[in-house]
């Protein structure tokens, strides 16, 4: 869900590279992003009926909400009226996106720089209920990090060798296509794949949230909390008025 984290919710992640350099989607942290063709198809259909009105940024925000709902998550209201940015540079990623090897201090600092709280941090981390991570991504966690369930670690090491790139593993083992709170149960049991997942246990407030949500598959308040935090994240760096533009095609500036 960190598609809104770099410049904000202005769809810069959808732009293709230019002669000025690689785009955000070309950066290492974003290489696993998928679905650009789906957004392009939606934009094309909207432009035929309502040209120059609906931004790619709004489409992306709505698509994120609908994807969560289609996988079993709760509905939340998506504010609209955003405009699209014109610049996308991969070199800006490192200073903005949270890395999977961040400790809790780095995570809190990163989220705070975007106006998000510790609660937003632990709630939005719950997006890891969907998706996967490569062997390369979890290698340090697997071979140089002690707080990992030994049985789980042994299972992973059978497939993920030191320095390996592939295969990929479900972030939420056994529930990676359903938006639920099972992720928090895994974290509580020291079975979170990422260092940043395990880091949620290193702060009193985030640890308490993990424990509370892990008591049931649906989570005590996770669905509602996630919607609220997504609404908040959707307000980061929004362009309105004469700022930016309404792109005709999401991968290209007008």
Residue 2 in this model has a pLDDT that exceeds 70: no
Is 180 labeled as ligand-binding?
A: yes
pLDDT higher than 90, residue 28: no
Q: How far is CA 200 from CA 141, 150, 194, in A?
A: 14, 19, 10
**Residue 177 assigned to a binding site:** no
CA distance 71 to 236: 25
Q: Is 12 annotated as a binding residue?
A: yes
SS3 assignment, position 249: strand
Global pTM reads: 0.93
Q: Does 137 appear as a known binding residue?
A: no
Residue 123, pLDDT > 90, answer yes
Quote the mean pLDDT of the chain.
92
Helices and strands per DSSP (H, E), number in the chain: 10, 2
8 assigned to a ligand binding site: yes
Across 28-46, average pLDDT: 91
The response to whether 172 counts as a known ligand-binding position is yes
């Amino acid at each position: 869900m960190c598609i809104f984290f770099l410049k904000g919710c202005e769809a810069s992640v959808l732009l293709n590279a230019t002669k000025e350099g690689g785009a955000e989607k070309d950066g290492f942290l974003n290489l696993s992003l998928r679905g650009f063709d789906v957004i392009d198809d939606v934009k094309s259909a909207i432009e035929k009926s309502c040209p120059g009105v609906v931004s790619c940024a709004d489409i992306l925000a709505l698509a994120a909400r609908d994807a969560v709902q289609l996988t079993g998550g709760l509905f939340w209201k998506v504010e609209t009226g955003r405009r699209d940015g014109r610049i996308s540079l991969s070199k800006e990623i490192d200073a903005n996106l949270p890395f999977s090897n961040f400790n809790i201090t780095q995570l809190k600092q990163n989220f705070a720089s975007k106006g998000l709280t510790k609660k937003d941090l632990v709630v939005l981390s719950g997006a890891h209920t969907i998706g996967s991570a490569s062997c390369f991504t979890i290698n340090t966690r697997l071979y140089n990090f002690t707080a990992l369930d030994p049985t789980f670690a042994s299972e992973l090491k059978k497939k993920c060798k030191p320095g390996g790139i592939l295969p990929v593993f479900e972030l939420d083992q056994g529930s990676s296509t359903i938006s639920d709170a099972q992720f928090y149960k895994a974290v509580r049991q020291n079975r979170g794949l990422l260092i940043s997942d395990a880091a949620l246990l290193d702060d009193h407030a985030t640890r308490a949230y993990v424990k509370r949500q892990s008591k049931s598959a649906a989570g005590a308040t996770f669905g509602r909390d996630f919607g609220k935090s997504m609404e908040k994240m959707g307000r980061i760096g929004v362009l309105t008025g004469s700022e930016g533009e309404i792109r005709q095609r999401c991968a290209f500036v007008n």
